[in-house]
Amino acid sequence: MSAWLYGQFDSSLNGINHLQGFQFIEQLPWIRLDLGSLGKLEIDYFLGVDGISLPLLILSAFVMLMAIGASWNITKNAKGYFALLMLLNTAVMGIFCALDFFLFYIFYEVMLLPLYFLIGIWGGANREYAAIKFFIYTLFGSVFMLLVIVGLYFSVTNPSTGAHTFNMLHMMNPENYVDGSFFAYLNNYYEVQGIPARMLGFIVLFVAFAIKVPVVPFHTWLPDAHVEAPTPVSIILAGVLLKVGGYGIIRVCYSIFPDAAAQANWWLALLGIISILYGALNALAQKDLKRMIAYSSVSHMGFVLLGVAALTAEGISGAMFQMLSHGFLSAALFFLVGVIYDRVHDRYIYNFRGLATHMPAYTGFVAVAFFASLGLPGFSAFIGEAFVIIGTFNAESVGTGIPRWMAIAGSVGILLSCLLFSVDLTAYVFRTDTLQRW
């Protein structure tokens, strides 16, 4: 069905902030209440697809199919396992399609429960710790997100009915904000401890989505969740769930609070640089194969934040391409880890030195996945990272406030990824102590 959507999609239309640019729209009245002095409550079942959400829908569909293929060894309560997997798929698809903020939040919260149980029931030895840590991190961000959603609801009106609305497209239009409201766009805006309310709302939403990306320092749940999760859940977690954070930053933070995003982009770019370098250096130090790939994901998703913060066409396009590329490549890497772990129940990299002599075809797949993930020209990661670097480098000339040294720092992260995967591949292919010496 997602492939059919891609075939029917009209790429000449562009959405983001007006309904005419969205396709496959489904809008039905859902909740209508009269709240007396607070006005009328309008919530719609409102879905739509544009050029940002369509690629992520296709990614979700195929990564989920890949995860189901990797579930060959799930024997404990298989019915419950696949039911939770499908519920998770429903929530993720809903997030990428929802255009009503209340509906978006419901899908966002529904996504949390299946993951919690998939890790907590079918995970490794420390699965309870990893599941609870993931649950607390995500819930912390989403609780404060709800406060911003309510504030936006009372700040925005539907221009056709005059009622307050959760419609995200109306929230992106400055003309729909009520003067004197908490998130008023132009006139009589509020301040909290000297911070404009719109900046505060942007920060709260950004933190909620940064936990999902994850951005340093909100990343510590990811390695534990990856290590303890079963292989199919690791595939979904890296391939799809991390993209929810990047999608939320683009669709919600930058589209509803563009003024705050333009003021904070230097700090966001700095967080992206820190994530790139910190994630790569941590990955270099890992001896567990799953933990290594988890930290490399932190580094690669840092490019998404850097590209978005650049506020250039090349940077945002590169960020979108990086999300898609990392979705498929990280799923492939965790799939390959699962193949070897299901046979020997070991992920210690040093124990697999010389594996090419016993499993040459498998090592070939590992080599392709490693080269693709490090951004070798000819593979998808190269395109995403190159566009992010180009967009960041051009940001200074177009006046977005991002200095060129940030582009250079991002390039250093690419070099660290090359070093990481080349050393690990050497350990796989040769019977040497290369990895131990490193």
Please give the pLDDT value at position 434.
47
For residue 431, pLDDT beyond 60:
no
Please give the pLDDT value at position 186.
65
Bridge partners of 195, per DSSP, are: 192
Q: Do residues 317 and 383 make contact, with C-beta atoms less than 8 angstroms apart?
A: no
Tokens representing 46 are 């409102």
Q: How many other C-beta atoms are found inside a 10 Å radius of the C-beta of residue 87?
A: 17
Q: What is the pLDDT of residues 268-284, one digit of tens each?
A: 999 999 999 888 888 88
Please give the pLDDT value at position 438.
43
Percent of the chain with pLDDT over 90: 21
Please give the pLDDT value at position 435.
44
Structure confidence at residue 426 as a pLDDT band (50, 70, 90)? low
Model's pTM, two decimal places? 0.88
Residues 6+ apart with CB under 8 A from 26: 45, 46, 47, 48
Q: What is the pLDDT of residues 129-158, one digit of tens each?
A: 888 888 888 888 888 888 889 888 888 888
For residue 235, pLDDT beyond 50:
yes
Most confident of 36-40, 315-319, 421-425: 315-319
Q: Is the peptide bond before 232 cis (omega within 30 degrees of 0)?
A: no
Angle between the 404-429 and 258-284 helix axes, to the nearest 10 degrees?
30
Higher-pLDDT residue of 436 and 178 is 178
Please give the pLDDT value at position 423.
66
Structure confidence at residue 420 as a pLDDT band (50, 70, 90)? low
For residue 417, pLDDT beyond 80:
no
Most confident of 69-73, 110-114, 196-200, 422-426: 110-114
Percent of the chain with pLDDT over 70: 95
Q: What is the pLDDT of residues 30-47, one digit of tens each?
A: 888 877 777 778 888 999
Residue by residue, DSSP assigns 11-39 as TT---SS-GGG-EEEEEEEEEEEE-GGG-
Alpha helices in 98-216 (DSSP H): 101-122, 127-155, 168-171, 197-212
Bridge partners of 156, per DSSP, are: 177
For residue 240, pLDDT beyond 70:
yes
Q: How many other C-beta atoms are found inside a 10 Å radius of the C-beta of residue 207?
A: 16
Please give the pLDDT value at position 427.
63
Q: What is the pLDDT of residues 322-369, one digit of tens each?
A: 999 999 998 898 898 888 888 888 888 777 777 777 888 888 888 888
Structure confidence at residue 424 as a pLDDT band (50, 70, 90)? low
Please give the pLDDT value at position 194.
74
For residue 432, pLDDT beyond 60:
no
For residue 58, pLDDT beyond 90:
yes
Tokens representing 29 are 């009245």
Q: What is the mean pLDDT of residues 308-319?
A: 90
Q: What is the pLDDT of residues 68-89, one digit of tens each?
A: 988 888 888 889 999 999 999 9
For residue 261, pLDDT beyond 80:
yes
**Average pLDDT of the chain, as a whole number:** 85
Total residues found in the chain within this entry: 438
For residue 253, pLDDT beyond 80:
yes
Please give the pLDDT value at position 429.
59
Residues 6+ apart with CB under 8 A from 210: 141, 218, 245, 249, 271, 305
